Amino acid sequence: KAGVTQTPRYLIKTRGQQVTLSCSPISGHRSVSWYQQTPGQGLQFLFEYFSETQRNKGNFPGRFSGRQFSNSRSEMNVSTLELGDSALYLCASMRAGGPDTQYFGPGTRLTVL
Amino acid sequence: AQSVTQPDIHITVSEGASLELRCNYSYGATPYLFWYVQSPGQGLQLLLKYFSGDTLVQGIKGFEAEFKRSQSSFNLRKPSVHWSDAAEYFCAVDSTGGGNKLTFGTGTQLKVEL
């Protein structure tokens, strides 16, 4: 079974631009979560989608948003990029409501110049 | 709010030596606990998890962890470290009861000396 895939793997943007990252979960998984990893703040939870609905949300500004499609694929969007948004963005999928295990993708490395 | 503490930022061990990585958590209810490993430039790989039952859990790559409620700890152990174990290790607790919102510790970077 294929793992979690994330596209693109690397991205360079400039301040003020917006960006969309994509995540395809493991087949049959209905929950997708997003995390931001930075050297200063570590791993932080952004949000989680289940059956196209945002079920949990972390403490990030409204510039960070996401959505999930009927095939469970998910996208996250960051608008008006700031230098501090440079990070590794990790997507994780899980089968259902839990308790269960999240399986992580390789991440998208976003650099904001 | 829940939190996870990994007191050791860096640990260096010799190949073949035993390893223990510490993890303490703060959470009001019975926690769901996880250990993940991350190699440079990679995502997170699950080593093991604790949901309930036997407090000593076995994972992949010869790792094990013991849940101690009285000490709010979930330490990761391996009896004999291999050079390929060099990586960063993260302890995490789930705060929703479903495993879908993880709070991570700051990580422990493991270096293995040959």
The predicted pLDDT at position A109 comes to 97
| Shortest CA distance from B3: residue in chain A | A44
* Cβ-defined contact of A45 to B103 (cutoff 8 Å): yes
Contact of A31 with chain B, judged by CB distance below 8 Å, is answered with yes
Mean pLDDT score, B33-40: 95
d(CA A40, CA A37) in angstroms, rounded, equals 9
* Cβ-defined contact of A104 to B44 (cutoff 8 Å): yes
Q: Which residues of A touch B32 (CB under 8 A)?
A: 99
Chain B, 28 to 47: residues with Cβ < 8 Å from chain A are 32, 34, 36, 41-46
Q: Residue A27, Cβ neighbours under 10 Å: how many?
A: 11
Q: Which residues of B touch A48 (CB under 8 A)?
A: 100-101
| Shortest CA distance from A89: residue in chain B | B43
> How much of chain B, in percent, has pLDDT values that exceed 90?
77
* Token pair in block for residue A4: 């979690």
* Cβ-defined contact of B98 to A100 (cutoff 8 Å): yes
Closest C-alpha among B56, B51, B44, B55 to residue B87: B44
The predicted pLDDT at position B97 comes to 67
Residue A15, burial from CB neighbour count under 10 angstroms (0-12, 13-18, 19+): exposed
Q: Is A80 left (phi over 0), alpha (psi -120 to 50) or beta?
A: left
Each residue's pLDDT tens digit, B41-67: 889 999 999 988 889 999 999 999 999
Give chain A's residues under pLDDT 50.
none
Kindly give, in sequence order, each residue whose CB lies less than 8 Å from that of residue B57, ignoring residues fewer than 6 positions away. Answer: B48, B49, B50, B64, B65, B66, B67
CB pairs under 8 A between A and B: 68
Kindly give, in sequence order, each residue whose CB lies less than 8 Å from that of residue B85, ignoring residues fewer than 6 positions away. Answer: B19, B61, B78, B110, B112
Nearest to A99 among B51, B92, B107 (CB): B51
